[in-house]
Amino acid sequence: MRYSGFTWHDVVVLLQGLGVSVGLFLATTIIGLALGLAWATVRYYRTPVLAPLVAALAELLKNSPVLVQLFLVFFGLPVLLGADLTPVEAALITLSGNTAAFVYVIATSSIESVGHEQLETARVFGLSRWQTLRRVVAPQAAAFGFGPLTGLLINQLQVTSLISVIGVVDLTKVGAILNVRTLEPFLVWSVIGVLYYLMARLIARVCARAETRLRAHSEWKGL
Amino acid sequence: MIQLDGVIKRFGANTVLDGIDLRIAPGEVVSILGASGSGKSTLIRCLNGLERLDAGAISVDGARIDTPAGLQAARRACATVFQLFNLYPHMTALQNVTLAPVEVLKVPRRQAEEAARALLASVGLGERADAYPAQLSGGQRQRVGICRALAMKPRYLLLDEVTSALDPEMTAEVLAILAKLAHEGTTMLFVTHEIEFARQISSRIVFLEQGRLLADLPTAQFFAPDGGLAQPRIAQFLSKMSKS
């Protein structure tokens, strides 16, 4: 590759990278949320065997570096499966699992923040465990958990940049390519950084709006 | 008929209920008096199936609460109003009242809402149906709590120190509603410190002392010098409570 200045085509490449990052972030967030909430439900029901298993899995995922997990999935899993994974597949699996582990932690602690008397009241009125979860516990837990969840999602957005090392052409990878070609590291990484920053702000904005709606019942509007 | 036979409940080495035998027939208003820690609230919790009995049995209209089906039947027959209201904070007054009828009794939503609005109006909260608990005063919250219990059309209303968290003015507004319910023939088990009020509305008074029934007498007899007052512990309790 020859060194050369910026061209208009770079904008397209940059947008493609942005698209890959956003796409992976959204996909892993949705999968991670679904998985993490399912695990939290398993715990809520104190399902034998499954509940401790889920807890152990979450512990494992949140206490090891994402990069190591990524290598394990990308290089290690194919050995086990006997079939190669594409970088995008490996990224999807790793990031979804990681998000799920943290969603599980946030969800379980939020559920535990709901007053015990709320559960008892629902039981006394004859609500089933599932009805209690859906109508009484989950809405209150969601209000508690939304702040930590916002922080998690912003962090997980930044974490997506790690997948560039296994060859996914995300925003960071595009940055690396442009950097090598143009030899303009300050400019390139500034632009990349600003793009991540803007995405993070967008996530925070969307989450704040949702949280306000969830807390509509409370007199306390935050600091 | 609510029936308790030899109910014993221990917390560790502490025996909170020590062989309680009690019957509450439909139409009765039974007040349970006793000092703090005498086991009054635990009795209600046992009735609600929130505590496992160490011995004895409880049944409501023949349904024994130590089986899942019996407990479910008993919980439908009884409805509880709590000392600290225990309203669902994320729901409006109306939603608090309609939740269990819609989810448990499978009443159509519109019908449940109509009934709930009528109930709320009957306790003077017709205008506050869409307010959240945080926007209501203590007395208003407890009135919502009463509506929530009544919406289940219970055969027995269990009231667990429902005015203990309220100031005198709010207490009066809640008691007025309970008096009306008693007058209409609602069966009530009324755990309270409001002795004078208990005297007015109860058909029977039960006195608990350290987990035992010290007295279970018709109201007039309980307050008679040769009845409940003949027992020194009860006389002492009543004189202390009336002074405060």
Mark yes or no for CB contact B89/A218 under 8 Å. Answer: yes
Asked whether the predicted pLDDT for residue A172 surpasses 60, the reply is: yes
Instruction: Determine the residue of chain B that is closest to A128 in CA distance.
Output: B104
**Residues A8-13, mean pLDDT to the nearest whole number:** 88
pLDDT, tens digit, for every residue of A119-155? 999 999 999 999 999 999 999 999 999 999 999 999 9
Mark yes or no for CB contact B132/A217 under 8 Å. Answer: yes
State residue B242's pLDDT score.
Answer: 74
Domain boundaries, chain B: 2-243
In A, what residues contact B, Cβ < 8 A? 117-118, 120-121, 123-127, 131, 135-136, 139-140, 143, 216-219
State residue A222's pLDDT score.
Answer: 47
**Nearest CB to A127 within list B50, B80, B103:** B103
Asked whether the predicted pLDDT for residue A2 surpasses 70, the reply is: no
Half-sphere exposure of A159 (CA within 13 A, CB side): 25
Mark yes or no for CB contact A124/B50 under 8 Å. Answer: yes
Average pLDDT, chain A: 92
- Pairing between strand B55-60 and B63-64? antiparallel
State residue B227's pLDDT score.
Answer: 84
pLDDT, tens digit, for every residue of A203-217? 999 999 988 888 877
State residue B243's pLDDT score.
Answer: 65
Which of B166, B205, B203, B207 lies closest to B186 in space, CA to CA?
B203
pLDDT, tens digit, for every residue of A53-73? 999 999 999 999 999 999 999
Interface ipTM: 0.92
**Residues A29-51, mean pLDDT to the nearest whole number:** 95
Q: Which of A3-12, A112-121, B81-90 has the lowest mean pLDDT?
A: A3-12
State residue B102's pLDDT score.
Answer: 97
A140 contact residues in B (CB cutoff 8 A): 88-90
Return left, alpha or beta for B86; rule: phi > 0 is left, psi -120 to 50 is alpha, else beta: left
pLDDT, tens digit, for every residue of B27-83? 999 999 998 888 898 999 999 999 999 999 999 999 999 999 999 999 999 999 999
Mark the ranges of chain B whose per-residue pLDDT is less than 50: none
A218 contact residues in B (CB cutoff 8 A): 89, 132, 134
Work out the number of other CB atoms within 10 angstroms of the CB of residue A201. Answer: 11
Domain boundaries, chain A: 8-214
B50 contact residues in A (CB cutoff 8 A): 120, 123-124
Q: Are B49 and B66 in contact (CB under 8 A)?
A: no
Count how many pairs of residues, chain A against chain B, have C-beta atoms within 8 Å: 61
- CATH T-level assignment (fold) for domain B2-243: Rossmann fold (3.40.50)
State residue B230's pLDDT score.
Answer: 86
A110 contact residues in B (CB cutoff 8 A): none
Contacts of A39 (CB under 8 A, 6+ apart): A54, A57, A58, A100, A104, A107
B contact residues 126-155, partner A, Cβ 8 Å cutoff = 132-135, 148, 152
State residue B202's pLDDT score.
Answer: 92
Has domain A8-214 been given CATH number 1.10.3720.10? yes
